[in-house]
Homo-oligomer: A and B are copies of this chain.
Amino acid sequence: MAGTSRRDRARRATLAEIREAVRRLLVAQGSTAVTINAVARELGMSGPALYHYFAGRDELVGAVTADFFAELTAAMEAARDACADDPPGRRLLAAARAMRRWAIAHPAEFQWIFASPLAEPGKEPPSRRVAAGRRFERVFLDLTVELWKARRFPVPDPADLAPSLLEQLRRYCTAIDEVLPPEAAHVMLTCWTRLYGLLCMEVLHQLDFAYSDMEPVFEECLREISARLGVDYSPPEPVRRRPPAPASDQDV
């Protein structure tokens, strides 16, 4: 099917060009500038041609959003694997910092991920997006599981959790193949919510009224999470000029 014939290669190249154009427009002129016509113009084609590649604007936007999600996930995975021999706590910090680094470097893209212009109330997000989301969450989850296996972090007594909460946690644990018990999943979700929530607030400029540079705020959040997960907090390496090997952990 996805052969390597002349046409197939051309098609793939065009698809890539389209995605690049979408991104270029998004970054340069905002999400409202991402129109079928503008994208086509960017490629030197005329509007309706794009319908051979995407069923409509929504599918186009959805595909690019999934790209962004994948890129963010890849950045986190790369940061995690760049220190594969460190203890899981350090790798978790590395992945979290990579997440923020990516979000800061690509604010427009990050915004599309969680406040997608498609996400109208009552409309299910496309399955592609959901899948991309799962891979994303998985990064943090996997590291937490490693942590849990290596040296269990402190968890609350399940009896202290609200019954309805416990019920939901059980369901979630089933969904993640019981890699964690509900109490541990609860700690993990709490940490994740704080981390991701803080980043969303930053990118949506909801904290501009108080902070101009969120880096120390984010680091403090990491410190709290570290304490909660029973790992040592270690501050970020100051700059890191590219080490010998040319492995970039930033832009995928």
A204 touches B162 (CB 8 A): no
Instruction: Tell me whether A246 is interfacial, beta carbon within 8 Å.
Output: no
Q: What is the CB-to-nearest-CB distance from A9 to chain B, in angstroms, rounded to a whole number? A: 35
A196 CA / B121 CA spacing, docked (Å): 20
Q: Is the CB of A168 within 8 A of B200?
A: no
Bound-complex Cα distance A168 to B207 (A): 12
Bound-state Cα–Cα, A137 to B193, Å: 21
Would you call A10 an interface residue if the criterion is a C-beta within 8 Å of the partner chain's C-beta atoms? no
Residues of B with C-beta under 8 A to A206: 114, 196, 200
Can you list 18 A-B contacts (CB < 8 A)?
A30-B120, A30-B121, A30-B123, A115-B115, A119-B204, A119-B205, A162-B220, A164-B215, A164-B216, A168-B211, A168-B213, A168-B216, A172-B209, A172-B210, A193-B197, A193-B217, A194-B197, A196-B206
* Chain A residues numbered 165-212 whose CB sits less than 8 Å from any CB in chain B: 165, 168-169, 171-172, 175, 185, 189-190, 193-194, 196-198, 200-201, 204-207, 209-212
- On chain B, the residues within 8 Å of A168 by CB distance are 210-213, 216
In the complex, which residues of chain B have a beta carbon less than 8 angstroms from the beta carbon of A134?
209
- The answer to whether B198 touches A201 (Cβ under 8 A) is no
Q: Determine which of B193, B205, B211 lies in contact with A207 in the assembled complex, contact meaning CB atoms within 8 Å.
A: B193
* CB atoms of A165 and B216 under 8 A apart: yes
Any B CB within 8 A of the CB of A230: no
Q: B133–A30 contact, CB under 8 A?
A: no
Residues in B with CB closer than 8 Å to A194 are 194, 197
Report yes or no: B219 in contact with A162, Cβ–Cβ below 8 A.
Answer: yes
Q: Which residues of B contact A217 (CB under 8 A)?
A: 165, 193
The answer to whether B220 touches A165, judged by C-beta atoms less than 8 angstroms apart, is yes
Q: Complex: how many Å from CA A193 to CA B198?
A: 7
Least CB distance, A162 to chain B, in whole angstroms: 4
Chain B residues with CB under 8 Å of A210's CB are: 168-169, 172, 185, 189
A108 at interface, CB cutoff 8 A = yes
Which residues from B are CB-within-8-Å of A175? Answer: 209
Q: Which of B119, B197, B213, B220 contacts A201 (CB 8 A)?
A: B197
